[in-house]
A and B are shown apart, each in its own frame.
Chain A
Amino acid sequence: MKKILEIIFIIIIPWIIILWIVFNYNGDKDRDYFPSKEISLKHDSIPVDHSKFAVLQQKFETPQDMTKACLSCHNGRGKEFMKTPHWKWEQSDTIPGRGVFNLGKKNLLNDFCIGVNSNENLCSMCHAGYGYGDKNFDFHNQNNIDCVVCHDNTGTYHKSNPCTSSNNPKAGLPAVGTDLNNIAQHVGQPRKNNCGGCHFVGGGGNNVKHGDLEMGLLNCTRDVDVHMASKGKDAKNMRCQDCHKTENHNITGHAYSVASSANNRATCVECHTAKPHKSELLNNHFKTIACQTCHIPTYAKMFHTKIIWTWNTAAKMDKNGKPIFDEEIPGHTYTYDGKTYKDVDIEYDSRHGGAVFKKNVKPEYVWFNGTADHHLLHDKIKDTIHPLILNPLFGSYQDNVNPADPNHPSKIWPVKIMRGTQPYDPVNMLLIQPKLASHEKGSGALWADYNWKVACTKGMDYIGLPFSGQYSFLKTESIWPLSHEVSPSDKALECADCHNATDSRLKNLTGFYLPGRDKSSLLDNAGLIFLILVLLGVSIHGFLRVTSSKKKH
Chain B
Amino acid sequence: MKKVLIYKGYERFWHWTQALLILLLAVTGFEVHGTYTLLGYEKAVFIHRNLAWSFIILIIFTQFWNMTTGEWRQYVPSTKLLKAQIRYYITGIFSNAPHPTRKTVYNKFNPLQRMTYLGLRILIIPIVVLSGLVYMYYVSLVDQSVVGSLQPVAYLHTFGAFLLLGFVIGHVYLTTTGHRPLSAIKAMLTGWEEMSDEDAELALEENLKVALITSRKGISGRGTIEKEGVFETAFDDVVEKLGINTESTRLREKLLSSNVGYFRIGKDHKYQEVNEVWLKLYKCTDKKSVIGTDVTLDRTPEGKKQITALVDKILSGEIITGERVERVCKDGTIGYHTVSAAPIKDKDGNIIGLEGFIIDITPQVEAEKALEKKIATEHKSNVFYEQIVKSKDVGYFRIDSQGFYQEVNDTWLRLYKYDSKDEIIGKHYSLSRTKEDFVKLKKSFEKVMKGETIPLGITRRYCKDGSIGYHSITMTPVVENGKIVGVEGYIVDKTDRKLAEEELKKAQV
Residue ranges of A at the interface with B (Cβ–Cβ < 8 Å): 1-3, 6-7, 10-11, 14-15, 18-19, 21-23, 25-28, 281, 284, 287, 401, 494-496, 499-501, 512-513, 515-520, 523-524, 526-527, 530-531, 534-535, 537-538, 541-542, 544-545, 548-549, 552
Contacts and interface: CB of A to CB of B under 8 A. Distances in A.
B119 interface: no
Contact of A531 (B46, B95, B166): B166
For chain B, which range describes its interface: under 10, 10 to 19, 20 to 34, or 35 or more residues?
A: 35 or more
Interface of B: 9, 12-13, 16-17, 20-21, 24, 32-35, 37, 40-42, 45-47, 49-51, 54, 89, 93-96, 135, 139, 142, 148-151, 154-155, 158-159, 161-162, 165-166, 169-170, 173, 176-177, 189-192, 349
B154 A495 contact: no
Given A515-B154, A530-B166, A10 B9 contact: yes
18 contacts: A2-B349, A3-B192, A7-B190, A11-B189, A18-B17, A21-B54, A26-B50, A27-B49, A401-B149, A499-B34, A500-B41, A515-B154, A518-B154, A527-B161, A534-B166, A534-B169, A548-B95, A552-B96
Nearest to B148: A401
B20 A518 contact: no
Contacts of B45: 281, 495
A280 to B, nearest CB: 9
Contact of B46 (A11, A18, A26): A26
Given A494-B42, A518-B154, 16 more contacts: A11-B17, A14-B13, A14-B17, A26-B46, A284-B139, A496-B37, A496-B40, A496-B42, A500-B41, A518-B151, A519-B35, A530-B162, A534-B170, A538-B170, A545-B177, A549-B96
Given A7-B190, A18-B54, A545-B93, A527 B42 contact: no
B474 to A, nearest CB: 47
Contacts of B155: 520, 523
A537 B89 CA distance: 12
A7 B15 CA distance: 12
A530 B170 CA distance: 12
Given A524-B158, A538-B173, A542-B176, A22 B150 contact: no
Given A496-B41, A512-B149, A519 B349 contact: no
Nearest to A520: B155
B190 A3 contact: yes
Q: What's the dominant secondary structure at chain B's contact region? A: helix
Nearest to A25: B50
A548 B162 contact: no
Contacts of A530: 162, 166
B142 A401 contact: yes
A1 to B, nearest CB: 8
A531 B32 contact: no
A228 B35 CA distance: 41
Contacts of A520: 155, 158
Given A516-B41, A518-B151, A11 B16 contact: yes
B13 A10 contact: yes
A74 to B, nearest CB: 49
User: Quick one: which of B20, B46, B190, B349 has the most chain A CB within 10 A?
Assistant: B46
A28 to B, nearest CB: 7
A11 to B, nearest CB: 4
A516 B32 contact: yes
A22 B166 contact: no
B352 to A, nearest CB: 16
B150 A513 contact: yes
Contacts of A14: 13, 16-17
A287 B191 CA distance: 51
B34 A22 contact: no
A496 B24 CA distance: 20
Given A7-B190, A495-B41, A544 B94 contact: yes
A22 B47 contact: yes
Given A7-B190, A494-B42, A499-B41, A22 B95 contact: no
